[in-house]
Amino acid sequence: MAFVYIRFWRMSVANHKSAIKRHKQSLASNERNRANRTRAKNAAKAVQEHILAQDKEQALQQLRLAVSVLDKAAGKGAIHWKKAARKISRMQRAINAISA
């Protein structure tokens, strides 16, 4: 990772110290945001699997975890807070539609 990073860093930024630093920061934040988005997407997929299987108990359990992950991702700016709210709302409605 370090070797690729340095190579990319040298090729794509200005020569100013502040621009180089800002580019390094942006690469780090991009990596963090990507990890948070992936985590949120996987949490939502886990809920969706249980919804499709009509397993209300497991879906509710997974929803609790997914709400936490989505809210954290939204709080960190990895995804928009309204997108997180929309996903949570849709998953909750789908779970409520499952007849127990």
* Residues 75, 55, 49, 88, Cα dihedral to 10°: -20
pTM comes to 0.79
Per-residue pLDDT of the chain (100 residues; tens, 9 = 90+): 555 555 555 556 678 999 989 999 999 999 999 999 999 999 999 999 999 999 999 999 999 999 999 999 999 999 999 999 999 999 999 999 998 5
Domain boundary assignment for the chain: 2-97
Question: Is domain 2-97 annotated with CATH 1.20.58.110?
Answer: yes
CB 63 within 8 A of CB 95: yes
Instruction: Please report, for residues 18, 30, 31, 68, the alpha-carbon distance to residue 23 in angstroms, rounded to integers and kept in the order given.
Output: 9, 10, 12, 30
**Alpha helix positions (H), the chain:** 2-12, 17-52, 56-75, 81-97
